[in-house]
């Protein structure tokens, strides 16, 4: 018993000391990292006082590193993604806020050319209309990610931008709430976006993306204008494709066609009408859940939305939420709700495609444009429906 206790104590002691060692190695590395950030910030012209004020609030948060590295077991499906973001509660709230802020939204549309229902859709998707802006502290989140090293230069630059914001807008570093990735305020702007595009929407001489809805919405509109928002144009719309449609011409990266060309191929609106016979608007068609799900024709504003967040699911959710707030109904074709592929399955698909000579890029378990292109090429060669959508069937086929 005594012997047992003795070894147990020894074991705990050694565990404790290795933990302490780990912590101290870690904190030494972090101290070196903080010193380097301070140096870079001073070199970039931030005053020593501001550097100290911001860095005094920067704490390394292991939880943020864990969130950043977390890889879900399943890849997200379009139904999942959109279902979580565009739901009846949010649509209703958006419609009510459209009334509440009608004057502001009209002014913003006049000044920046972006209709109110789009501004509401961004606002709704980013923070549930200002309801949830993240509970982290921006200096801490950014310092943690800068020192974690995976994207050190990006997050160091964002942290230095944060210091500039503190200086320029007299912000209190302790009150700069953010997401775990450092996105701030009602529009979840990263510091560099904040620095470039935030404006004073309520003309009180301050720019406050946390507490002023007018500042947040004006800043969103200003950002979209800078991303080249096309006034009086839609983002896109749901379409119906004819039987026997040539799927290989779909995809955001495929050559664009004019509306007249899509019309000639038999593409119709979700309501069943022919597309307008015009040749001055170019568009692509995408099917985010494959040929069994909804198809969308997308215009230039779709890419503008992707300039805000580089995700097709995000852009479709913003577009659809905007439409719903403006009074449109549900999608004509609901996306299939079957579970997504596991990441290991996506990886296996990517590996097989690479081995077969279709370049799916580095097998990472993420369905990106290279994966879709390779899937499409494989489908075409094997006389399958070339929707570029990797599913269970494709997985089984490649496995056998």
Question: Which residues of the shown chain bind Ca ion in the complex (CB under 5 A)?
Answer: 200, 202, 204, 206, 212, 215
Output the CA angle 104-105-109, nearest 5 degrees.
120
Q: Which is nearer to Ca ion, 214 or 341 (CB)?
A: 214
Q: Which is nearer to Ca ion, 68 or 200 (CB)?
A: 200
CB of 189 to Ca ion, least distance (A): 14
Q: 205-218 as b/e, with b when 16 or more CB fall inside 10 Å?
A: eebbbbebbbbbbb
H helix or E strand, kind and range, residue 295: strand 295-298
CB of 163 to Ca ion, least distance (A): 21
Q: Which is nearer to Ca ion, 78 or 197 (CB)?
A: 197
For residue 108, count CB atoms less than 10 angstroms from its CB and return exposed for 0-12, middle for 13-18, buried for 19 or more. Answer: buried
CB of 196 to Ca ion, least distance (A): 17
CB of 213 to Ca ion, least distance (A): 10
* 3-class secondary structure, 285: strand
CB of 387 to Ca ion, least distance (A): 47
Q: Which is nearer to Ca ion, 168 or 339 (CB)?
A: 168
CB of 222 to Ca ion, least distance (A): 13
Closest Cα to residue 213, out of 289, 152, 133? Answer: 133
Pairing, β 177-178 against β 257-258:
unpaired
Residues in Cβ contact with 121 at an 8 Å cutoff, skipping those fewer than 6 apart: 94, 317, 318, 319, 321, 322, 325
**How many whole angstroms separate alpha carbon 332 and alpha carbon 237?**
11
Please identify which residue in the block is written with the tokens 């939305």. 305
Q: Which is nearer to Ca ion, 204 or 392 (CB)?
A: 204
CB of 170 to Ca ion, least distance (A): 13
Q: Which residues make beta-bridge pairs with 237?
A: 297
Please identify which residue in the block is written with the tokens 């005594």. 2
Q: Which is nearer to Ca ion, 211 or 369 (CB)?
A: 211
Q: Which is nearer to Ca ion, 214 or 289 (CB)?
A: 214
Please identify which residue in the block is written with the tokens 């004006």. 218
In 321-398, DSSP assigns E strands to none
Q: Which is nearer to Ca ion, 144 or 219 (CB)?
A: 219
Q: Which residues make beta-bridge pairs with 269?
A: 239
């Amino acid at each position: 018993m005594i012997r047992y206790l003795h070894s147990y104590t020894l074991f705990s002691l050694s565990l404790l000391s290795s933990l302490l060692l780990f912590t101290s190695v870690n904190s030494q590395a972090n101290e070196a990292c903080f010193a380097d950030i301070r140096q870079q910030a001073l070199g970039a012209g931030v005053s020593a006082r501001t550097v100290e004020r911001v860095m005094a609030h920067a704490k390394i948060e292991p939880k943020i590193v864990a969130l950043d590295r977390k890889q879900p077991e399943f890849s997200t499906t379009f139904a999942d993604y959109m279902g979580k973001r565009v739901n009846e509660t949010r649509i209703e709230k958006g419609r009510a806020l459209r009334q509440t802020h009608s004057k502001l939204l009209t002014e913003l549309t006049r000044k920046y050319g972006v209709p109110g229902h789009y501004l509401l859709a961004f606002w709704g998707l980013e923070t549930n209309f200002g309801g949830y802006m993240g509970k982290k502290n921006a200096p801490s989140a950014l310092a943690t990610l800068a020192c974690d090293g995976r994207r050190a230069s990006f997050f160091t630059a964002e942290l230095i931008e944060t210091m500039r914001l503190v200086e320029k807008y007299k912000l209190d570093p302790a009150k700069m709430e953010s997401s775990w990735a450092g996105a701030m305020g009602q529009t979840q702007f990263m510091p560099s976006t904040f620095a470039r595009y935030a404006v004073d929407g309520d003309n009180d001489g301050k720019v406050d993306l946390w507490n002023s809805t007018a500042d947040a919405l004006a800043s969103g509109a200003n950002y979209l204008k800078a991303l080249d928002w096309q006034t009086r144009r839609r983002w896109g719309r749901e379409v119906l494709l004819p039987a026997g449609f040539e799927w290989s011409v779909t995809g955001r990266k495929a050559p664009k066609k004019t509306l007249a060309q899509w019309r000639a191929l038999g593409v119709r609106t979700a309501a069943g009408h022919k597309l307008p016979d015009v040749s001055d608007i170019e568009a692509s068609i995408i099917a985010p859940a494959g040929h069994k799900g909804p198809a969308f024709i997308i215009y230039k504003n779709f890419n503008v939305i992707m300039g805000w967040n580089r995700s097709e699911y995000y852009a479709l959710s913003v577009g659809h939420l905007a439409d719903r707030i403006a009074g449109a109904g549900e999608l004509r074709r609901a996306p299939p709700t079957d579970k997504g592929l596991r990441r290991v399955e996506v990886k296996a698909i990517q590996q097989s495609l690479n081995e077969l000579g279709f370049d799916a890029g580095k097998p990472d378990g993420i369905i990106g444009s290279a994966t879709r292109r390779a899937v499409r090429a494989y489908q075409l060669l094997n006389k399958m429906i070339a929707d570029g959508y990797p599913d269970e069937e494709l997985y089984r086929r490649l496995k056998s």
